[in-house]
Amino acid sequence: MAANDTTPLIEKRSIDYIPEAERHGRLFSQFTLWMGANLQITAIVTGALAVVLGGDVFWSLIGLLIGQLIGGGVMALHAAQGPKLGLPQMISSRVQFGVYGAAIPIVLVCLMYLGFTATGTVLSGQALGQLFGVSDSVGILIFASVIVLVTVLGYRVIHFIGRVASVIGVIAFVYLFSRLMSQTDVGALLQIRHFSWSSFLLAVSLAASWQIAFGPYVADYSRYLPSRTSSVKTFLAAGAGSVIGAQVAMVLGVFAAAMSNGQFAGHEVAYIVGLSGTGATAALLYFSIAFGKVTISTLNSYGSFMCIATIISGFRGRLEVTRLQRLVFVLMIVGTATLIALLGQHSFLGAFKSFILFLLAFFTPWSAINLVDYYCITRERYDVPALADPNGRYGRWNLLGISVYVFGVLVQLPFISTKFYTGPLVAALGDVDISWIIGLVLPAALYYVCAKKWHGTVPDHLILPKEQGASPITNELAAQA
């Protein structure tokens, strides 16, 4: 399963099916990629929010862990689809929404990626600004240039950077934890307990939303694995890497915010690096912060490219995207995210909290529908060639999937609590936001009941495209996969 030496450095595939002859990679790369993507400054800030917004240290840690496990399980179920289908995640949504209808959740996914790329760019700009002695704005522009390069190079380079980032991240976090332990009495922080449901569920929601937000693109990075790769092992590799990496980063954020005496908000990067002192050590930490953000920001930009290409291909009936088109899309995506970062860098923390919580209303219903359909209704029996045909098996618009999705979004509105919008039932629940739980459970149950009765025809087996140059026996086996 090792990578083939003939595999090009610059990825030639985009949203089209990955032939078996081009499959490569190891499950361990899924673990390192997602650990590297989570051992970074934005995850630290997310964990810190649980305390900054009034939570207790001990109960915040418990709430974050519960959220990681729930959200990480959802995320990893999506990851397991990659090797079986050989496709990016959002293409498979055409089964549930139709070839045209899949554009509805995909547009919202694009907005999510823009937001995450922009917020990550703000923090990376702070780190590069301190490292090179330039303004944060110049740091943002430097970081954006690196993201464009790595995103254009594609899959292999992204996984390589993920491996390097995981090593650098582990070293940096071990050092930061050792410094934190030497500067504060962690035991004392854990003993100061004041439980409240609103703060506890906020911590759960922060971690769950962090993990669920990976769902729309996690299969993009497992789709090159050989089709015989175990779904269970793919689930465990991607899920463990993401959960462990995120929980470690968020634990550091909780402790840092608890001992900061209000100095964390607005100076996140400088405060974290300040734990280590000054000089060469601080410079290395600024570098590790910026490098750690390269992985996740590239994932966001790469995912945005996949989503835009998916939308366009649905209406033109072809899956191929040229390298020039890829470059144009990436420049447009990263350029927009960079502009947002430059304009919003001074009001980062509050906007970020509202942003990631509000996202749950749009992505939990999509995730619920996709997973129920894949694992319970079609049971992995997709007609992959039909995903590119508006006149084929899945049609242009799937009213069942679209209707359940709209229901899933609307049913959450009374329970949402963010700066953007607060539902009428939030106050009655003690200001506790439970919208993401409702948005995950109710659409899943409704779709299961309705799909059992009204779902379209399901193939007898997974149907894959015929591969050029493959023997008739190989293509027959692929058709019966």
pLDDT tens digits, residue range 262-284? 666 666 677 777 776 667 777 88
Nearest to 44 by CA among 268, 277, 258: 268
Phi/psi at 383 (5° precision): -100, 90
* Token representation of residue 4: 């083939």
Residue 1 scores a pLDDT above 50: no
What pLDDT score was predicted for residue 246? 94
Q: Is residue 385 part of a domain?
A: no
pLDDT tens digits, residue range 145-187? 888 888 887 777 877 887 888 888 888 888 888 888 887 777 8
What pLDDT score was predicted for residue 11? 67
Residue 12 scores a pLDDT above 80: no
Q: Rounded to an integer, what distance in angstroms lies between the CA atom of residue 405 and that of residue 424? A: 21
Q: For residue 278, what are the contacts with CB-CB under 8 A and spacing of at least 6?
A: none
Cβ(256)–Cβ(50) below 8 Å: no
DSSP 417: B
Q: Is residue 72 part of a domain?
A: yes
Q: For residue 9, give Cα distances in angstroms to 6, 154, 175.
A: 9, 8, 33
Q: Is residue 253 part of a domain?
A: yes
Higher per-residue pLDDT: 192 or 472? 192
How many residues in the chain? 481
Beta bridge partners of 422: 417
Position 464, amino acid: L
Q: Is residue 461 part of a domain?
A: no
Q: Rounded to an integer, what distance in angstroms lies between the CA atom of residue 292 and that of residue 123? A: 11
What pLDDT score was predicted for residue 372? 95
Q: Report the mean per-residue pLDDT for the chain.
A: 82
Q: Rounded to an integer, what distance in angstroms lies between the CA atom of residue 276 and that of residue 288? A: 13
Q: Is residue 383 part of a domain?
A: no
Q: Rounded to an integer, what distance in angstroms lies between the CA atom of residue 398 and that of residue 7? A: 37
pLDDT tens digits, residue range 297-344? 887 887 777 788 788 777 766 656 677 777 888 888 888 888 888 877
Q: What percent of the chain has pLDDT over 70?
A: 87
Mean pLDDT of 89-100: 90
Residue 468 scores a pLDDT above 70: no
Q: Rounded to an integer, what distance in angstroms lies between the CA atom of residue 109 and that of residue 115? A: 10
What pLDDT score was predicted for residue 353? 57
Q: Is residue 432 part of a domain?
A: no
pLDDT tens digits, residue range 379-434? 989 999 898 888 889 999 999 999 999 999 999 999 888 777 788 988 887 777 78
Range of the domain at 124: 20-347
Cβ(316)–Cβ(325) below 8 Å: no
Q: Is residue 401 part of a domain?
A: no
Cβ(78)–Cβ(370) below 8 Å: yes
129: domain CATH number? Answer: 1.10.4160.10
Domain count along the chain: 1
Cβ(417)–Cβ(433) below 8 Å: yes
Q: What percent of the chain has pLDDT over 90?
A: 25
Lowest mean pLDDT among 354-358, 430-434, 449-453: 354-358
Q: What is the pTM of this model?
A: 0.83
Q: How many CB atoms lie within 10 A of CB 424?
A: 9
Q: Rounded to an integer, what distance in angstroms lies between the CA atom of residue 219 and that of residue 196? A: 37
Nearest to 238 by CA among 255, 248, 225: 225
Q: Is residue 254 part of a domain?
A: yes
What pLDDT score was predicted for residue 37? 84
Q: ∠ CA(411), CA(104), CA(238), 5° rounding?
A: 85
